[in-house]
Structure 1
């Protein structure tokens, strides 16, 4: 009987936590107000991966689309980055995958993959096309 007022207060409260002036909803870090879409990464033979580096904030939920035009079998590798984030889900053609970890992804044909993740560990990281050395085949990432 004593718990009923607390439960009613929690249900009626739109934001339960405030950090750095940012209010989270009932889903905490996964709240819609904490979600940000990143510019897509494009995998195409001889083309740059992205326009600019990523500046991410620890504790923020991000979604990114990785698009391949099928011009070549291409992938992305970035074990340091993938270990500095918590992956919520990977969506490929409507199929949702919830992995415990990730080292790399690869496209054998044209397609789109969406990755939802929370940035966790501050530092400097990168994603790159395996076996390449050019700056345009590398995406620099900083988590603050």
Structure 2
């Protein structure tokens, strides 16, 4: 973990000031410090409903992505490009914490909530979408600056 944090700090140091972490004094927690946390991003998985709104994230900042499924249909959200542009801290499902190396998608067969915590790393615009959908409301764009 120390190597990952050092790599992130090295990458962030070469970027413009607007692309640095959200605080200067990380303390013992490093990039996971409370002062370095951005706003929670919420996605809604519901049949015929918009997935969410486009968001812009700060490279080097810590975020939580909350995915809420209402159970109206068996739905998933995919975004391999996005998931490879972040460092995943954990996924929490029914109070069970999973620390994965990588994921491509998350699928809900019934109603439930998954909470992903991560650090945004690689700048660019990435898409999270409901697989097989073509509508603009069935995807969101996540820009990392």
State the distance in 1 between where 2:136 and 2:112 align: 24
**What's the TM-score once normalised by structure 2's chain length?**
0.83
**What's the TM-score once normalised by structure 1's chain length?**
0.83
State the distance in 2 between where 1:129 and 1:86 align: 22
The verdict on how the C-alpha distance between 1:20 and 1:60 changes in structure 2, with shifts beyond 3 A counting, is closer
Q: Which has the larger radius of gyration?
A: 1
| Count of matched residue positions in the alignment of Structure 1 and Structure 2 | 126
Return the structure number with greater strand share.
Answer: 1
Alignment root-mean-square deviation, CA: 1.5
Report how far residue 47 of structure 1 moved: 0.1
Which ranges of structure 2 fall in alignment gaps of 5 or more residues?
1-19
The equivalent of 1:27 in structure 2 is: 29
On the 8 A contact 2:75/2:130 being kept in 1, the answer is yes
Structure 1 runs (4+) greater than 4 angstroms displaced: 18-21
Report how far residue 94 of structure 1 moved: 0.5
CA deviation profile, 1:102-134 (whole Å, cap 9, x unmatched): 110000000000000000000010100000000
State the distance in 1 between where 2:41 and 2:123 align: 20
State the distance in 1 between where 2:32 and 2:23 align: 17
Which ranges of structure 1 fall in alignment gaps of 5 or more residues?
1-17
Return the structure number with greater helix share.
Answer: 2
State the distance in 1 between where 2:118 and 2:21 align: 19
